[in-house]
Amino acid sequence: MENMQHTGAYKERGALNKLLSLTPEERARGVLAASAGNHAQGLAYHAGRLGVKSTIFMPLGTPVIKVTRTKDYGAHVELTGANYDDAFAACLERSSSGTGEVLVHPFDDPTVIAGQGTMALEMLDIQPDLDVLVVPVGGGGMISGIAKVVKQINPNIRIVGVEPAKIPSMALAVSGITDPHAPVTTIADGINVRKVGKITREICTELVDDWATVTEEEICRAILFLLEGEKTVAEGAGAAGVAAIMAGKLGDVRGKKIGTVICGGNIDVNAISQVIECGLVDSGRRLHFSMDIPDRPGTLSVLINQISTMQANVVEVKHERTRMASFGAARVHMTLDVRGDHHANEILDTLRAYYKDSSHIAVDRN
């Protein structure tokens, strides 16, 4: 449950380990980093605690809350570039300019990797007989640290790396495709990494047993499950491991003891409602559909009463008379809360039977 860390993510483990490894002279020169969120906050927080000056390069589009928190922890923030790669390039330029500050890479650094691996020690202390460990993967720092620890203690534990289906950069890299991935947008922004690390790729090639990918819908469903079931908030990257387990991406694991890492909880508040909506639709608990009904007084009331008798809750209804699909008809768009796919299909079948002359009943799965 790394979302319970002070900065809301596991990244502060590696950042702190790196800071503690610096000499007094290096600490006096300060540290540099590039990050779109979690690494920035973790490094800024612990640098502030230790009295080390920190400068963080962040993309221009970084959510305001992440920039504000990073500044509040004491870091100087430089907003530059359209994405992480641009920010990292600016950070490297600063690092090579002779200022003397120590560059703290978010994942491709042995000391950072070792820091991330401490969570594996804690997991195995709690549950030493794990069979499978499922780990979200972006640049590979977390899974590399975990794999190093786990395989030394118990080589029989199967380690599965999970990436967004939109951008499986590490799985591609270990298969030999090392070119930067094309830019994408994903709810799992914390593991949206176009090019993985050289050190992490080598470790993953050696120690990670299997790879899995999860869709945006599967991630949203996992976030919703954690909100409802565990009463905890996970960001997209943090829920990726749970998503893989829920979606059956691990093969036959019946009777196995499975562990995963909720690696972060810094989700944009503005995105939560969209994530919940996506999770409800994907789990079959929210139904969007449109249909044509006779354009006569009282017809809409009859439709809503029918839905009420089938124990569905109307969330939203839109009645259009200006875009009639056929003469004498009106189009109705509805959103319902239902009990699952079976209940949704029961409602649709009933409506199709009653409005058998209707020219349009369509379900929106998005």
Query: What is the per-residue pLDDT across 70-80, written as a single tens digit (0 to 9) for each?
Result: 999 999 999 99
pLDDT digits (tens, 9 = 90+) for 175-229: 999 999 998 989 998 899 999 999 999 999 999 999 999 999 999 999 999 999 9
- Which of 35-44, 108-117, 276-285 shows the lowest mean pLDDT across its residues? 276-285
Average pLDDT over residues 114-140: 97
126 confidence band (pLDDT: 50, 70, 90): very high
Tokens of 175: 């298969």
Residue 49 confidence (pLDDT) above 90: yes
- Give yes or no for a contact between 222 and 240, defined as CB atoms under 8 angstroms apart: yes
Contacting residues for 175 by C-beta, under 8 A, at least 6 apart: none
Question: In the prediction, which pLDDT does 310 show?
Answer: 94
Average pLDDT over residues 164-174: 97
Question: In the prediction, which pLDDT does 359 show?
Answer: 56
Q: DSSP states of 162-184 as a string?
A: EEETT--HHHHHHTT--SPPPP-
Question: In the prediction, which pLDDT does 230 show?
Answer: 94
- Give yes or no for a contact between 120 and 207, defined as CB atoms under 8 angstroms apart: no
Instruction: Kindly give the interhelix angle for 11-21 and 38-50, rounded to the nearest 10 degrees.
Output: 40
Give the C-alpha distances (Å, rounded to integers) separating 228 from 2, 8, 74, 341: 18, 19, 35, 19
Residue 38 confidence (pLDDT) above 60: yes
Tokens of 357: 């002359």
Nearest-angstrom CA–CA distance, 235 and 2: 11
Question: In the prediction, which pLDDT does 198 show?
Answer: 96
- Give yes or no for a contact between 129 and 97, defined as CB atoms under 8 angstroms apart: no
Average pLDDT over residues 12-27: 97
Residue 328 confidence (pLDDT) above 80: no
Average pLDDT over residues 103-112: 97
Question: In the prediction, which pLDDT does 274 show?
Answer: 86
Helices (H), ranges, the chain: 11-21, 24-29, 38-50, 64-72, 84-95, 110-116, 118-126, 141-153, 169-174, 198-207, 216-225, 240-246, 269-282, 299-309, 341-354
- In the chain, the N- to C-terminal Cα span, in Å, equals 30
Tokens of 322: 């200006």
**DSSP-based three-state secondary structure for 28:** helix
Question: In the prediction, which pLDDT does 360 show?
Answer: 72
Mean pLDDT of the residues in the chain: 92
**Percent of the chain clearing pLDDT 90 (strictly above):** 77
Question: In the prediction, which pLDDT does 3 show?
Answer: 95
Q: What share of the chain is helix, strand, coil (3-state, %, to 5)?
A: 45, 20, 35
Residue 147 confidence (pLDDT) above 70: yes
Nearest-angstrom CA–CA distance, 58 and 63: 10
Average pLDDT over residues 124-151: 97
